[in-house]
Structure 1
Amino acid sequence: MIDFGAVPSDGGNRGGMERKGSPEVSGSTDWRVDVGWLDLTLPTVEENLAVDEALLVAADERNGKAVLRFWEQPGSAVVLGASRRIDADVQVERCVADGVPIARRSSGGGSVLIGPGALNVTLVLPIAANPALATVDGAQSSVLERIAAGIRVGGAAVEVCGSGDLTVGGRKFAGSAQRRLKNWILVHASILYDLPIHRIDRYLRLPGRQPTYRRGRSHEDFLMNLPISRTILCDLIRSTWSPSSLLTATSDVPQDLLESLLAEKFANRSWIERL
C-alpha cells in the first residue's frame, strides 16, 4: 500500500521574494479543458514518476481527469529520459557514492537532476483540449508557452527556447518532456528555483545533443535558478490553468495502477537499467 501522506507537499518559500496579491492570467479561448490540481509528493522518485504515469493512464483508459500536479523530490535524484543511456548521461560512480538514486521516466527528453529547489510541474490533458496538442511539437510549445505566460506575470522575462526549455536571458531554468497515449498527453517540466547548480555538474555529464542556443556552455554557465519562491511559482502556474477543483491523492490517483506501474517499470531495475 502506498502511503500518500508520507511527505509534506509544501516545499517552502526558498528561492525568491514573495509577491503580494493573486496573479491573474488570461487563458487562451482555444483551450477547452476543466483542470483539477494536485500538490502531492511521495517519498521516492520512483513513486513520484509512477504517479504521473498513473494519472495519464487513468485519464486515457478510465475516463479520468485533466490534472495539474506539483511535486518536489525531498532528496536529490537523477531521472533519465525514456531512451537515454545511463553511461552517456550519468556520473554513475558519483551517484552511488553519494546515495543519489537513478530512475527512468517513460517520457522523452534528456536526463535531469531533481531535488529540493526543483519544482516539478505535471500536466495531463486531453488532446481534444486544443488543436495544437495534435502534434508533439505543437503540444510542447503550446503548453510551455502557457506556463511561461503565467511566470511572466511574476516579473520574469521568460522565453521558450530549443525543443522544450524555459529561459531568461539565454540561460535555462526549466526543461520538459512529453508522453502521448491515444487520446491524452502528459507534459511535465522541472523548474529550477533553488537547486545548487554545481550538483548537476557532479552527477550529470554534458549532453551529446545540445540546442544551438547553449553554445557549448557548461551546466554552471548554461543553467540558472529562477529567483521566485515555490509558493509564488505554484500560484502563477496554477492561475494560467484556472483549475476548478483541488484533487485528493486517495481518490484521484488509482492505487492499483500506481502499484502495477512501480512493479513493471519505475521500481524495476531491469527497466531502469535497460539502456
Structure 2
Amino acid sequence: MESLLTQTKWRFIDQSISAKTASPLESFAMDDTLCHLVGQQLGKPTIRTWVHNDSVVLGIQDHRLPYVEAGMNELCANGYNPIVRNSGGLAVVLDSGVLNVSVIVSEQQPISINRAFEVMVEFIKAIFPELQDKIEAFEIVGSYCPGSYDLSIGGQKFAGISQRRMKNGVAVQIYLCVEGSGSERAELIKKFYQISLQNEQTKFKYPTITPHVMASLQQLTGQQITVEDVNLRIQQLLLEWDDQLEIMPLQQDEVELYSYYLTRIFKRNESLLR
C-alpha cells in the first residue's frame, strides 16, 4: 500500500480555485477522463484537488425519494445547487470549505475495493502526520453519506470516501470538511431528507442524520486550518515523494477526451432530471 503511494511518479492537478464556479458534474467528467488516461497508461497516476461553491451532490437513491422535488427546492432556497450523479452513494455537501481530493491509479494489476479505500486513508494520514494516531476509519452512524471508510476523530466525521472504476483506472475520491461547521452542513442534509421523505416508508433505508456526529477539521483541531493550507500540504508531500512531480492541467490532446466525458455526463444528468 505504501509503495503504491511513494514509489509512483505523480501528476498533480490543482482545481481548488479554478473549479469553484463550475458544476460538480465537470469534476466527475474530469475524473472519468483521468481514469481513462491513467487506466490505459496514457498518463501518469494523478492526484487532483477540487473545490466547488455551494452545491449538494445527490446519488441515484436520493433521486428516488418520494418528494425529492420539494427537497431540492429547499436546497435551492438555502442557496445550494442540487445535482444528481449517476452512481452510488448519497447526498454530500460541497462548498468553499470542503476540499475534494481524487487519487487516480492504474489497475493493470488488480486493486481490491478495500485496498483502494485504504490507499486514501493512508494518504490522508500522511497529509496530517500530527493527527494520524487520532484518525479512524469506520462508519459513523448519523452522518450523511455514511460508509465503512468514514474518517473521524473522536467519533466525529470529517471526511467520506468513494471510488469509481473504468477503463482499468481507479479514482478514489474523498471530501474533506476543512473549514466551517460540519454540523451545519449535516443540518442542511437532515432537512433535505425530512422534506423529501415526509415520513413515508420506502424500501431503501435513508440515513437518519444526527448533526453533532459531523465536524470540520477546524473544529476538531481547534486551529484555523484552511483549504489552501491542506492543498499546499498535498503538493509538498507529493514533492517529497517525487521531485520530478508534474504540476500540469489537461493538455490539448487530452481536452477532446474530457469533452466527450463531459457531454456524456451532462446528458445522463438531464435524463435523470426528466
Distance, in Å, in 1 between the alignment partners of 2:104 and 2:132 is 27
1:233 corresponds to: 230
1:222 corresponds to: 213
- Which segment is superposed worse, 201-210 or 118-127? 201-210
- Which segment is superposed worse, 182-191 or 232-241? 232-241
1:65 has 2:51 as partner: no
User: 1:154, CA displacement in angstroms?
Assistant: 5.7
User: 1:187, CA displacement in angstroms?
Assistant: 0.5
User: 1:98, CA displacement in angstroms?
Assistant: 4.0
1:208 has 2:205 as partner: yes
1:13-36 deviation digits (Å, cap 9, x = unpaired): xxxxxxxxxxxxxx9235542111
On the 8 A contact 2:35/2:167 being kept in 1, the answer is no
User: 1:252, CA displacement in angstroms?
Assistant: 7.4
On the 8 A contact 2:36/2:167 being kept in 1, the answer is no
* Aligned positions of 1:97-246 closer than 5 A: 97-128=77-108, 134-153=111-130, 157-162=134-139, 163-197=148-182, 198-203=184-189, 204-205=192-193, 208=205, 218=210, 220-227=211-218, 228-241=225-238, 242-243=241-242, 244-246=244-246
User: 1:272, CA displacement in angstroms?
Assistant: 4.2
On the 8 A contact 1:109/1:178 being kept in 2, the answer is no
On the 8 A contact 1:69/1:122 being kept in 2, the answer is yes
- Which segment is superposed worse, 63-72 or 199-208? 199-208
Mark the CA change 1:199 to 1:209 in structure 2 (over 3 Å): closer, same or farther: closer
On the 8 A contact 1:194/1:226 being kept in 2, the answer is yes
2:249 corresponds to: 249
Q: Secondary structure at the match of 2:49?
A: strand
Unaligned runs of 5+ in 2: 140-147, 195-203, 219-224
Q: Which of 1 and 2 has higher RCO (CA within 8 Å, sep 6+)?
A: 1
On the 8 A contact 1:108/1:178 being kept in 2, the answer is no
Match of 2:56 among 78, 81, 105: 78
Cα RMSD over matched residues?
3.0
- Which segment is superposed worse, 190-199 or 240-249? 240-249
Unaligned runs of 5+ in 1: 1-26, 211-215
On the 8 A contact 1:262/1:268 being kept in 2, the answer is no
How many correspondences in the alignment?
Answer: 237
Mark the CA change 1:245 to 1:57 in structure 2 (over 3 Å): closer, same or farther: same
User: 1:62, CA displacement in angstroms?
Assistant: 6.1
Distance, in Å, in 2 between the alignment partners of 1:168 and 1:87 is 32
Q: Percent identity?
A: 22
On the 8 A contact 1:151/1:158 being kept in 2, the answer is no
* Counterpart AA for 2:103: L
1:52 has 2:31 as partner: yes
TM-score (norm 2): 0.73
Mark the CA change 1:181 to 1:103 in structure 2 (over 3 Å): closer, same or farther: same
1:179-227 deviation digits (Å, cap 9, x = unpaired): 11242200111100124442442244289355xxxxx651x21110002
Mark the CA change 1:254 to 1:53 in structure 2 (over 3 Å): closer, same or farther: same
1:29 corresponds to: 3
1:19 corresponds to: none
On the 8 A contact 2:58/2:82 being kept in 1, the answer is yes
2:142 corresponds to: none
* Counterpart AA for 2:3: T
User: 1:141, CA displacement in angstroms?
Assistant: 2.2
User: 1:165, CA displacement in angstroms?
Assistant: 1.2
